[in-house]
Structure 1
Amino acid sequence: MEIKETIFRPILTTKGRNTGNPHSVMLRAVNYNGKIYFSRHRPDGDWFKNALANPDVKIEYNDIVFSGKAKLVTDEEFSKKISELKYPDEERAKEKRVTIEITLDNA
């Protein structure tokens, strides 16, 4: 099973960087070139910090759970491309964002 949509709203589950407990949040995601991307304005969200501290994550979508590895996107131009895909025809697509890339296991 694979995710076909370019923009979708899965549940991202990270492992708490302090507690080790699962932390789940529903977010808007971008499916691009076989990888999943999540972004936000600043790197201060729990899910963002957790994914950087513990890169093993889960993504639940359409009652299917995918596991994968997270890493920070350091290419600002690429992050801008993800924002344009995430927010098509919206002014906020131009805002600077921090982005995490998820490589799904067995993808």
Structure 2
Amino acid sequence: MEIKEKLFRPILITKGRKTSREHRVMLRAVNHNGKIYFSRHRPDGDWFQNALVNPLVKIQYNNSMLIGNAKLVTDEKLNEEISNLKYPGEERSKEKRVAIEITLQAN
């Protein structure tokens, strides 16, 4: 399955860094340059920390399950670009955020 939308709301499934159980959360995601991005204000959220510790993640969307590898986005310009794409025309697009980048595995 290929995701065509630039902005969409999938369920991100991570493996708990403490419990090893699946952790599911619906988030706003950005599809940009063949990668999927999730962001937040601070890196303290469970899903964010889980993805950094256990980078193999799943994305559930439109009755499909995608698998990918997560990594921290360290490029500040890319973080800004993701924020602008996530919140187009909104004031909060200017807020500093942290993001993870998901590289999907081939089907």
Amino acid at match of 1:10: P
SS of the equivalent of 1:96 reads coil
| Separation in 1, partners of 2:7, 2:35 | 12
| Separation in 2, partners of 1:99, 1:47 | 11
Moved >2 Å (runs of 4+): none
| Separation in 1, partners of 2:79, 2:43 | 13
Partner of residue 97, structure 1:
97
Partner of residue 21, structure 1:
21
State the TM-score, normalized to the length of structure 1: 0.99
Amino acid at match of 1:11: I
C-alpha displacement of 1:94: 0.3
| Separation in 1, partners of 2:42, 2:6 | 23
Unaligned runs of 5+ in 1: none
| Separation in 2, partners of 1:65, 1:59 | 6
Q: Deviations over 1:12-54 (max 9, x none)?
A: 0000000000000000000000000000000000000000000
Amino acid at match of 1:103: T
Amino acid at match of 1:66: L
Amino acid at match of 2:2: E
Partner of residue 30, structure 2:
30
Between the two proteins, the alignment pairs up a number of residues equal to 107
Amino acid at match of 1:70: A
C-alpha displacement of 1:60: 0.4
Unaligned runs of 5+ in 2: none
| Separation in 2, partners of 1:63, 1:44 | 29
Partner of residue 73, structure 2:
73
**RMSD value, Cα:** 0.7
State the TM-score, normalized to the length of structure 2: 0.99
